[in-house]
Amino acid sequence: MKRILGLLVALILFLLLGGCGSGDTAPPRILSVFPPDGYHGFKHGEAISFEFSEPVDLDSFMQAYHSTSDGLEPEQISLRLADGGRKITLYPSHDLDYSPDASYRYYGFEISTELRDRAGNHLAEPLRVTFTTMRRVTAELVGEAALDGTVLAGQQAVADQNVLLAGDSVNDAPLRGFVSFAAPAAADGFLAGTLQLTVATVTGLPVHGLGDLNLEWLDYGGALDPSDFNLPALSASPILDGGSGWQADNPVRYDVSDWVRAAWQGGRSHLQFRLRFASDSDQDGSSDAVWFYSADAPQAAYRPLLELTYYGP
């Protein structure tokens, strides 16, 4: 009888102490990581994040984490836990440097098998991630055909022609030309810009009768309409062109770097410009205008271009 009682006591103790344990023998798994291995375009202000299959031990995470990249070394990071320890966010001590040219600048880190869950199970395989930050790239943006064109004296907007005009018409009605470019969505800072327009033809003597051509920066949004004729410019100082190089099929170039940088700071989704003369009309009964090819031009080489230098992936 005593032997039976002893066996019962032993069984009860086993159930209480051993049988009621976690029983967790599965290794933790990394469900997701940002940035993933091979990622291009890590930005300033972003953080590295992990999601695990179960809560992990924070001390073991710090033991498992390794990096020799500046800003990501173990003593240069801070951590935040979420979701009961299933998610860890890693913050670099400072913004990771971008590449000063078109080459890639690489960063990396590793999570070794020293990582454990709270039951003591180790990560089955190490995680190694190499990624790059933004780099300095230059691209030629083509004008937006639906958004460039000519506005006639605040009365009519024409956005489907092969050309856009600045000057006055045969009836001495003022004409103003507009060009638009979509800002690159993946950019993280505009650095420089050069606008290129190609002359189709010149009628009359616009510079003699109307003064200098004024190139202005503005933001007329997602549609060209008559009210854009008098839309206030975003810069008080236009770029002046006295007509040099206005021959048919000849490109003219304007440095708009200050404006594209300001557009980035303002979070603008379009880079847009207006062409108008100092005087709207000389009332001489004939057309005095410069005709530029628009984004509807059949020859791709004649369409408006914006050579934009920016930080991109």
Which pTM was predicted?
A: 0.85
Calpha distance 226→230 (Å, rounded): 8
Strand partners, 252: 197
Which among 142, 128, 175 has a CA at the least distance from the CA of 287? 175
* pLDDT for residue 279: 96
Does residue 305 contact residue 213 with C-beta atoms inside 8 Å? no
* pLDDT for residue 4: 45
| DSSP string of 220-241, one letter each residue | -TT---GGGGGPPPS-SSPEEE
Give the largest CA-CA distance in the chain: 127
* pLDDT for residue 20: 44
The pLDDT profile of the chain, 313 residues, written as one tens digit per residue, is: 444 444 433 434 343 444 444 588 999 999 999 999 999 999 999 999 999 999 999 999 999 999 999 999 999 999 999 999 999 999 999 999 999 999 999 999 999 999 999 999 999 999 999 999 999 999 999 999 999 999 999 789 999 999 999 999 999 999 999 999 999 999 999 999 999 999 999 999 999 999 999 999 999 999 999 999 999 999 989 999 999 899 999 999 999 999 999 999 999 999 999 999 999 999 999 999 999 999 999 999 999 999 999 999 9
Distance, CA of 178 to chain centre: 24
Instruction: Please name each of the domains of the chain with its CATH number.
Output: 25-133 (2.60.40.3710), 139-312 (2.60.120)
Calpha distance 307→50 (Å, rounded): 38
Number of Cβ within 10 Å of residue 22's Cβ equals 10
Give the count of alpha carbons within 13 A of 225, CB side only.
5
- Measured torsion, CA atoms of residues 209, 212, 217, 218, in degrees rounded to the nearest 10: -20
